[in-house]
Amino acid sequence: MKKTLATLAVAATVAIGAVAIPTPADARWHRGFPVGPVIGGLAAGAILGAALAAPRPYYSVAYEPVYFGPRCYVRRERFWDGWGWRVRRIEDCY
């Protein structure tokens, strides 16, 4: 896309230059400053400059969350076994 835009900008510049080159019969000031070509050139430069300086689009990729198995943790649980209190380790997974 960037190469295409640059090629079009160069082609437009060459085309405008070929049309705007004065012939020997027109190589004079027509009663004052040439306002039309100057304003047209500034407008074309502003349009081309804005097109070439536009920020690149931002693409983001959203992935699904990856789970590597169940999430487990170990907790201690106190229980009565009929003879006394004991503590055992319980693994809870979710």
Domain annotation covers residue 39 = yes
Percent of the chain whose pLDDT exceeds 90: 19
- Judge whether 76 lies within some domain: no
**Cα–Cα distance, 46 to 67 (Å, whole number):** 52
The conformation of residue 24, written as its DSSP 8-state character, comes to: T
Distance of CA 11 to the CA centre of its chain: 26
Residue 11 has pLDDT above 90, yes or no: no
17-42 residue pLDDT tens: 666 665 666 556 656 666 677 777 87
Q: How far apart are CA 48 and CA 9, in angstroms?
A: 7
Is 31 or 70 the better-scoring residue by pLDDT? 70
Distance CA(9)–CA(1), nearest Å, equals 12
Q: Which residue has the higher pLDDT, 86 or 1?
A: 86
Mean pLDDT of the chain: 76
Work out how many domains the chain is built from and give that number.
1
Residue 17 lies in a domain: yes
Structural domain boundaries, residue 37: 2-52
6 pLDDT band (50/70/90 cuts)?
Answer: confident
pLDDT at 46 over 70: yes
Residue 86 is assigned to a structural domain of this protein: no
Residue 23, domain member (yes or no): yes
pLDDT given for residue 88 in this prediction = 93
8 Å CB contact between 93 and 71: yes
Residue 83 lies in a domain: no
Q: How far is CA 80 from CA 18, 85, 92, in A?
A: 99, 5, 20
Alpha-helical (H) ranges within 21-61 are: 35-52
Residue 79 lies in a domain: no
For residue 25, being part of any structural domain is answered with yes
Tell me, yes or no, if the pTM score tops 0.85: no
